[in-house]
Amino acid sequence: MATTAQISITSADLMPGSALNITASTTLTKAGVTADLDQKESGVIKLVSGTEYRLGPLATEMAGDAHDIASYLYVHNKTTEDATYYVDWGIHETMIGRLYAGDWMFIPWNASDDGAEIEIEPQGGTNIIEYCLFNSDVILPSAAA
Amino acid sequence: MATLIPTLTLSSTDATTDLLNFSITDSLNITQDVVGPSKVKLTTSDLEIGPTSYGKSYVYLKNTDDTIAINIEITDGNSTMQLAAGEFAFFPWTGAAGIVAFSASGTPYLEYAIFEA
């Protein structure tokens, strides 16, 4: 499952006389090795505001030791509402940033332990999130007896 | 005020039988401070590349090393990302907690930029 991520960041007017043109590309692999990741999960979800949600599995729900647990997370806020609508994102209880309408993010998430889970919390109203997660094998929980 | 246009493309021919190939772009108004594309040598000691003096910002990070991983913490001690060789990240950041970088070993170089909205 060779998956490639490419980014370009451009601006014609950020720094006068020097147009900005950053480009980078990487192939998504398991941590510490060049082997491809095994699983992909993606979707579009509606989330009501005021509730914290966990996006993606916990470390202990993924196969392998800590060095195998690498994930790549893409999140896009598809909401078309005004700036009062946004999604806070963070690691565990640490809020890191806000995705406003149209904003996206891409990170290599270090799922080192269960206290490093990705949390998102919509604000302002119902937000629509598109996401894609590339990760190591997930161990499904046992069914209820 | 300047306009920043970040674009991400994800592609794969074998992730699933449905080919993965999409691009997403955004148009961001940048009105405050900017750290233009910069490159810094890291060690295994913490180096704060994003101080809390920043407000709402967008952050670009790239590990330029061929082998050594770079650890990123947002709030000291909170492991957030590990950039393996050649990997990059782009994310919105509130500036509420500083961004700290350090190497897993050796002295890799980190490329980074910060754009304050």
Test mutation, B87, B99, B110, B111, chain A, max A CBs within 10 A = B87
Domain residue extents for chain A: 30-135
Average pLDDT over residues A13-18: 87
Each residue's pLDDT tens digit, A51-104: 999 988 887 887 765 545 667 889 999 988 788 999 999 988 888 999 999 999
pLDDT for A64: 63
> Nearest-5° angle of CA A124, CA A127, CA A131?
140
Topology given in CATH for the domain delimited by A30-135: Jelly Rolls (2.60.120)
Q: Which of the four CATH numbers 3.30.70.250, 2.60.120.10, 3.10.310.30, 3.20.20.80 does domain B32-116 have?
A: 2.60.120.10
Domain residue extents for chain B: 32-116
Nearest CA-CA distance, residue B45 and chain A, Å: 19
pLDDT for A7: 97
Q: Does B93 touch chain A (CB under 8 A)?
A: yes
- Asked whether the beta carbons of residue B6 and residue A6 sit closer than 8 angstroms, the reply is no
- The model carries a pTM of 0.92
Distance CA B1, CA A130 (A): 29
pLDDT for A1: 67
pLDDT for B90: 97
pLDDT under 50: residue ranges of chain B: none
In total, the C-beta contacts within 8 angstroms joining chain A to chain B are 154
